[in-house]
Structure 1
Amino acid sequence: MSTTPEVPVRSTQKSHQTRALISIALAWAFDAMDFSILTFVLTDIMKDYGVPLTLAAGLSSATTFARLGGGFLGGLLGDYWGRKASLVASILWFTVFECLTGFSIGFTLLFLVRILYGIGMGAMYASGTPMLMEMMPAKWRGLASGLMQSGFSFGYIFAALIYRAWYGDLGWHAMFYIACIPAFIVALYIWARVPESARWKQERATATRKSIPIRDLFKDGNTWNTIHAALISLIAFGVTYPINTFYATLLKTNGHFSVAVVADTIIILNIAGIIGNILGGYLSDFIGRKLMLVLSAIGTLACSFVFQSISTNWERDVFTFLIGLFSIGGVWAAIPTYIAEHFKTGVRSTGQGTTYHFGAAVGGAIVPLIVSSIAPSVGGLAHAMTYSVAITSVLVIVLALLWRESKGAPLA
C-alpha cells in the first residue's frame, strides 16, 4: 500500500511566512518607488503643464494627505473584508493610477490621479502590515518589521535607477508605465500564493458582530493605543521628512557639493536607512521595541548637531551614513510591529492604517513646512534642521517610554 508523505505543517507555515514577507515588502517598495519617481520629474511637469514649483510640489502633498483617507478606508476593508483581499485590491488600485499618471493630459487631471493614487498607497500599508505581523512568529516580528520598512528606501533607489536607465530615451511619462508593471505582478503573486491571515480568519469566525464601528478604536483599551500610535507616527515622520526633503538642498547650498556628489550621497543615505531598518528590527526582537526606539532617537539626536558643519567629503559620508542608519533606519525599524502589537485583531488594520498615515499627513507635510518657514530667522536651513530633528528625536524618546513593551507578546 502506497502512502503520500505529508508536508510538515511547520514547513508549510514557514513557506507562507516567507512568501508573505517577500511579497509585502516588495509591494511597499514598488509603492514607494512610484511615490519617489515624482520627485525626479517635477521640473518636467512644471515645463509641460506650465505650472510653478509650488503647484508641482503640491502633487506630493496631495498624495500624502490622500494616504490618510486610503489608510482609513483600506483599514476598514482589511478588518471587514480580509487582509489579503484588501491588500491585493489596493495594489491593483495604485497600479492603475500609477499608469494613468503617465497618461495625464493636463495638470488638473494629473492632480486628481495622484490623489487617487495616494488612496491606494495608504490602503496597501493598512492591509499589508497587519497581515505580515499576524503571520510572523512573535520572536521574529521585529525583523519582519524592519525588512518591510526598508522597502521605502529600496523604492527610492529603484526610482533613481529607473530614472537613470530610461528617462533620457523615453521621457518622464514612460517612467510611470514601466514602474507599474512589477507592482501588478506582485499583486497577482499574493492572490495566488499567499494565504489569508489565519488570525484574522479566526477572529472573524468567532466575532459576535461583523461590523467595524469607528468607535472601536476608542473602546476596550484602544483609546490610548490609538492616540499614542498616531503621535509616535507623527513625530517619527517629523524626524525623517525634513531630512528627506532638505538634505540634498543643504548639501548643495551649504556644502557646495556637485549635483553628482549630492545624488550619490542621497543613495548612501538610503542604503544606510536599509541597514538601519533591518538591523534595528532584528535587535528589537532581543532588546525590545522601546529600547530600540530610544537608542535610535539618541543616535539621531547626536547627529542632528552636525548639519551645521558638513564641509568635507569625509564629514559628508560619515554623517550621511550615521543619520541614515539612526533616523531613516533605526527610528522606523520596529514601528510597524510596535503599532500592530498594540491593537486587537478586530481593529488592527483600521488602527494601523489610520494612525500611520495620520503621522505621514501631519508630520510629513507640516514639519518640513515649519523648517522652511523658520530657517531665515534661526540662521539658515542647517540650524532649522538641527532644531527640528533634535526636538522630534527627544519627543520620540518620551513617547517610547510612555508605551508598554510588546516584544514577544502574543497578538490580542
Structure 2
Amino acid sequence: MSAIIETKTGTASRQNGIKAMVGVGLAWAFDAMDFSILTFVLVDIMKDYNVPLTLAAGVSSATTFARLGGGFLGGLLGDYWGRKASLILSIFWFSVFELLTGFSIGFTLLYLVRILYGIGMGAMYANGTPMLMELMPAKWRGLASGIMQSGFSFGYIFAALIYRGWYTDLGWHAMFYIACIPAVLVALFIWWQVPESAKWKTQLEERGRRSIPISQLFTSGHTWSTVHAGIISLLAFAVTYPINTFYATLLKSSGHFSAGTVADTIILLNVAGIIGNVVGGWVSDLIGRKWTIAISGICTLLCSFLFLHIDNNTLRTVFTFLIGLFSIGGVWAAIPTYIAEHFSTGVRSTGQGTTYHFGAALGGAVVPLIVSSIAPSVGGLASSMTYSVAIASVLVTIWVFFWRESKGTTLE
C-alpha cells in the first residue's frame, strides 16, 4: 500500500512539475515577446512621436531598469502571499500595460506605460522561476531551467512572426493589441491547472505567520548568495546582451547583407539559443550547474571572434550557431535553478527576482551602452563586441567557481 501511495505521489509531483514548466515557460516566452516587439518598431516610434533614436531606444532601457523594481517588489509579494497568486497577478499586470502600449498617444505616456510594463515583467520572473523550481523534482530541475530560459528566444521569434504577419497591414500599435492575448490565456491556465508551491505552503505553516523578507537577503546565511547571484547574473547578461542588442545592427551596417539574410541570421542565433538552453539544462543535471556555465563561457570565448569575420558566409553561419548555442543558450541554461538552489524558500522569490534583475539592469542596459561608446576608439562595433563578449565570458567562467555546486540539493 505504501508503495502505491508513493507511486501516486511521485506521479502527481511529475504532473505538477510539467504543468508548471508549460505555464511558466509560456509566460516567460510571451513576456519576452512583448519586450522584443519594441526593438522592431523603434523607427516607427521615432517617426510618430518625432524623437531621436537615443530617446526611442531609452524606452527599452527604462523598461529594463523597471524590471529590477518589479523583481524586488514582486519577489517580496511572492514570499509573503504565495508564488501562484503573485505570478498570475504579474502576468495580468504586464498584459494590461502591453495593451496600453498600443494606445499610447504621446511619447511621455508611452515611456510611463513601458516602465509600468517592466515592473510586471520583473515580477513575473521573480515568482515563476521559484515556483517552477519548487514544483519540479530535483533530478529534472536543470532541464526545466533550460526549457524555461529558452522562452526568451522563443519570445524573440514570436515577435518576429507577429511583425512579419501583421505589421504591414495593421501598423505597430496593433502588434501590442495582439501580443497581450496569449499571455492572458497562460495566466488562466496557471490559475486552473498549476498548484501552489507545496514548499512555500509548508514553510508558511512552520513559520506560523507571513513575513516580508527584505533583511534576509543579507542575513540568515544569504549574504554571499545574494552578492554572488547578483554578480553572476550581471556577467551572464554582459555575455549575451551585446549580441542581442548589436548583432543585427552590425550585419546591417556592413552593407553586404540583404534584409532576408539579416533576419535569417538572427533567427539562426535564437534557434541555436533554444537548443543550447534545453541541452545545457539537461547537461547541468548530469555534470552540475557550475561546470555547465563554465564550459559554455569558455566556448563563447573561443567563438567571440565571429563578429570580426561576418563577411565570410561559412564562418558567419557556423559561428552564429555556435555562439547562440553557448552564449544565448549554454551560459543561461542553468542559471535559473542555480540561483534558486542557493536561497531558502522563505526568501527565494525576493532573492531570485532581485539578483536576476540587478544583472539585467547593469549587464543588460549599461553594458551595451559601454560597448557602443567604446566602439570608435577600438576599431568599430565588431571589435568592441568581440572584446566585451570575450572579457565577460572569462569573468563568468571564473566567478562561477566562487560558489558551491548545487546540483541535486534539496530546496530548504
The answer (yes or no) to whether the contact 2:309–2:316 under 8 Å persists in 1 is no
The answer (yes or no) to whether the contact 2:13–2:137 under 8 Å persists in 1 is no
1:34-78 alpha-carbon deviations (Å, 9 max, x no partner): 000011111111111111111111110010000000000000000
The answer (yes or no) to whether the contact 2:242–2:367 under 8 Å persists in 1 is yes
- Asked if residue 157 in structure 1 is aligned to residue 171 in structure 2, the reply is no
Q: State the one-letter code of the partner of 1:374.
A: I
Alignment of 1:79-228 (within 5 A): 79-207=79-207, 209-228=209-228
- Counterparts of 2:213 and 2:410, CA distance in 1: 24
- Counterparts of 2:7 and 2:392, CA distance in 1: 50
TM-score (norm 1): 0.97
Describe the SS at the equivalent of 1:196.
coil
The answer (yes or no) to whether the contact 2:90–2:120 under 8 Å persists in 1 is yes
- Return closer, same or farther for 1:255/1:137 CA change in 2, 3 Å cut-off: farther
Describe the SS at the equivalent of 2:411.
coil
TM-score (norm 2): 0.97
Q: Give the corresponding residue for 1:69.
A: 69
- Asked if residue 56 in structure 1 is aligned to residue 56 in structure 2, the reply is yes
1:255 Cα deviation (Å)?
6.7
- Counterparts of 2:350 and 2:264, CA distance in 1: 38
- Return closer, same or farther for 1:255/1:288 CA change in 2, 3 Å cut-off: farther
| Higher mean C-alpha displacement, 46-55 vs 353-362 | 46-55
The answer (yes or no) to whether the contact 1:255–1:311 under 8 Å persists in 2 is no
1:8 Cα deviation (Å)?
2.7
Report the aligned-residue RMSD: 1.3
- Counterparts of 1:380 and 1:163, CA distance in 2: 30
Q: Give the corresponding residue for 2:386.
A: 386
- Counterparts of 1:287 and 1:7, CA distance in 2: 27
| Higher mean C-alpha displacement, 211-220 vs 323-332 | 211-220
Q: State the one-letter code of the partner of 2:407.
A: K
- Counterparts of 2:294 and 2:215, CA distance in 1: 31
Q: State the one-letter code of the partner of 2:76.
A: L
Alignment of 1:310-325 (within 5 A): 310-325=310-325
Describe the SS at the equivalent of 1:385.
helix
Q: Give the corresponding residue for 2:11.
A: 11
1:12 Cα deviation (Å)?
2.3
Q: Give the corresponding residue for 2:253.
A: 253
The answer (yes or no) to whether the contact 2:79–2:349 under 8 Å persists in 1 is yes
Q: Give the corresponding residue for 2:346.
A: 346
- Asked if residue 309 in structure 1 is aligned to residue 306 in structure 2, the reply is no
1:81 Cα deviation (Å)?
0.2
Unaligned runs of 5+ in 1: none
Q: State the one-letter code of the partner of 1:117.
A: Y
Q: Give the corresponding residue for 2:369.
A: 369
1:6 Cα deviation (Å)?
12
1:80-131 alpha-carbon deviations (Å, 9 max, x no partner): 0000000000000000000000011111111100000000000000000000
- Return closer, same or farther for 1:255/1:107 CA change in 2, 3 Å cut-off: closer
- Asked if residue 335 in structure 1 is aligned to residue 339 in structure 2, the reply is no
Unaligned runs of 5+ in 2: none
Q: State the one-letter code of the partner of 1:409.
A: T
| Higher mean C-alpha displacement, 206-215 vs 354-363 | 206-215
Q: Give the corresponding residue for 1:45.
A: 45
- Counterparts of 2:387 and 2:32, CA distance in 1: 28
Q: State the one-letter code of the partner of 2:160.
A: A
The answer (yes or no) to whether the contact 2:79–2:211 under 8 Å persists in 1 is no
- Counterparts of 2:106 and 2:317, CA distance in 1: 41
The answer (yes or no) to whether the contact 1:255–1:310 under 8 Å persists in 2 is no
The answer (yes or no) to whether the contact 2:13–2:136 under 8 Å persists in 1 is no
- Counterparts of 2:281 and 2:98, CA distance in 1: 30
Describe the SS at the equivalent of 2:227.
helix
Q: Give the corresponding residue for 1:244.
A: 244
1:184 Cα deviation (Å)?
0.2
1:112-153 alpha-carbon deviations (Å, 9 max, x no partner): 000000000000000000000000111110000000000000
Q: Give the corresponding residue for 1:21.
A: 21
- Counterparts of 2:265 and 2:309, CA distance in 1: 16
Q: State the one-letter code of the partner of 2:140.
A: W
- Return closer, same or farther for 1:255/1:389 CA change in 2, 3 Å cut-off: farther
- Counterparts of 2:111 and 2:77, CA distance in 1: 25
Greater than 4 Å deviation, 4+ residue runs = none
1:382 Cα deviation (Å)?
1.1
1:313 Cα deviation (Å)?
1.6
1:251-297 alpha-carbon deviations (Å, 9 max, x no partner): 22337212210111000000000000000000000000010011000
